[in-house]
Structure 1
Amino acid sequence: MSDVNEQKFQGYSDNHYQHGMHGLAWISLWLIVGLGVAAGVFGFIYGSMS
């Protein structure tokens, strides 16, 4: 029975790790998108002024 419990815990551990990585991936994705949009807006305004 201990093998079954270890397998369940291992599965839970993997899912928790994957969930954390998924959240981190979304944060990095939106950070990159946000910085890209901000740089594009800044470049557009900077280019329009000169």
Structure 2
Amino acid sequence: MSDANAEQFQGFSDNHYQHGMHTLAWISLWTIIVLGVGAGLFGFFYGLSQ
């Protein structure tokens, strides 16, 4: 039983780590997209106001 629990915990640990990295990657991606779009819109309106 102890071996099965260890394998199950190891799998959970790997999946949790992968899920965390996947979430971090998506947060980083969307942060870059939002900042890029925001900067683009800011530059566009700033240019129009000049």
TM-score when normalising by structure 2: 0.82
Cα distance in 1, alignment partners of residues 5 and 38 from structure 2: 49
Cα distance in 2, alignment partners of residues 14 and 8 from structure 1: 10
Q: Which runs of 5+ in 2 are unaligned?
A: none
**Corresponding residue of 1:23:** 23
Q: Which runs of 5+ in 1 are unaligned?
A: none
What's the Cα RMSD here?
A: 1.2
**Corresponding residue of 1:47:** 47
Larger mean Cα displacement after TM superposition, 32-41 or 18-27: 18-27
- % identity of equivalent residues: 70
Which letter does structure 2 place at the counterpart of 1:30?
A: W
Establish whether residue 35 from structure 1 lines up as the match of residue 35 from structure 2.
yes
TM-score when normalising by structure 1: 0.82
Kindly report structure 1 stretches of 4+ aligned residues shifted beyond 4 Å: none
